[in-house]
Amino acid sequence: MPLIIEPLAELTPKLQQALACQLQACVAEGASLGFYHPISEPQMANYWSQVNTELSAHTRVLLGAYIDQQLVASVQLVPCQKQNGRHRGEVEKLLVHPDYQRQGIARQLMQYLEAYASQAGISLLVLDTQSGDKSEQFYQATGFNKTGEIPFYVSNQRGEKFATSYYYKQLC
């Protein structure tokens, strides 16, 4: 089945529901994405509404990956709005629905994001992820360089605190 990746310019209710399902499923699997499981409906609606506003303002890019017209993965790129930082962008919320993980979808989505960023004049990507998370191995395998950690940066529902690792990748 071919994977189709495309920028999503506006979040229709159907698309918002599919993205909410992705996010909820990833958080349920233990991904540290800024939310505790389960994510409440108002939190979810507020988050995706904010994303939609930023898409309309062209201050955020959302890429969706489809198999058989079903959204299975997404990733966001937030270009820096500061005059002296317009060459960089932050990668946020790389989501692959658990039913589709370990199939190379995240790698293809990141390759598309890198090409998209390059065409937009972005030459430096930055991101953060919970230290020790499986995502660290993925980002390192895709050429991101770890710059360091901030201890006690995120917490889980029990109040336990965890470090966050910061990564960058210089694009050609």
CA-atom Rg of the chain in angstroms: 16
Mean pLDDT, residues 17-25: 96
Maximum CA extent, the chain: 43
Tokens 């990956």 sit on residue:
65
Contact at 8 Å (CB) between 90 and 108? no
110 closest CA partner among 72, 73, 59: 73
Beta bridge partners of 71: 66
Is position 121 within any domain? Answer: yes
Is position 12 within any domain? Answer: yes
Is position 155 within any domain? Answer: no
Backbone angles phi, psi at 112, to 5 degrees: -65, -45
Name the residue range of residue 24's domain.
3-125
Is position 146 within any domain? Answer: no
The count of other CB atoms within 10 Å of the CB of residue 140 is 13
Is position 151 within any domain? Answer: no
Is position 135 within any domain? Answer: no
Beta bridge partners of 70: 67
Contact at 8 Å (CB) between 33 and 95? yes
Measured distance CA(145)–CA(168) in Å, rounded: 5
Is position 91 within any domain? Answer: yes
Q: What is the pLDDT of residues 69-126, one digit of tens each?
A: 999 999 999 999 999 999 999 999 999 999 999 999 999 999 999 999 999 999 999 9
Contact at 8 Å (CB) between 163 and 129? no
Q: What is the pLDDT of residues 24-75, one digit of tens each?
A: 999 999 999 999 999 999 999 999 999 999 999 999 999 999 999 999 999 9
Whether the per-residue pLDDT at 1 is higher than 80: the answer is no
Is position 45 within any domain? Answer: yes
Measured distance CA(109)–CA(126) in Å, rounded: 16
Distance of CA 121 to the CA centre of its chain: 20
Tell me the CB-side half-sphere exposure of residue 158, using CA atoms within 13 A: 2
Cα-based angle 142, 60, 48 (whole degrees, multiple of 5): 100
Q: Which CATH number covers residue 9?
A: 3.40.630.30
Q: How many domains does the chain have?
A: 1
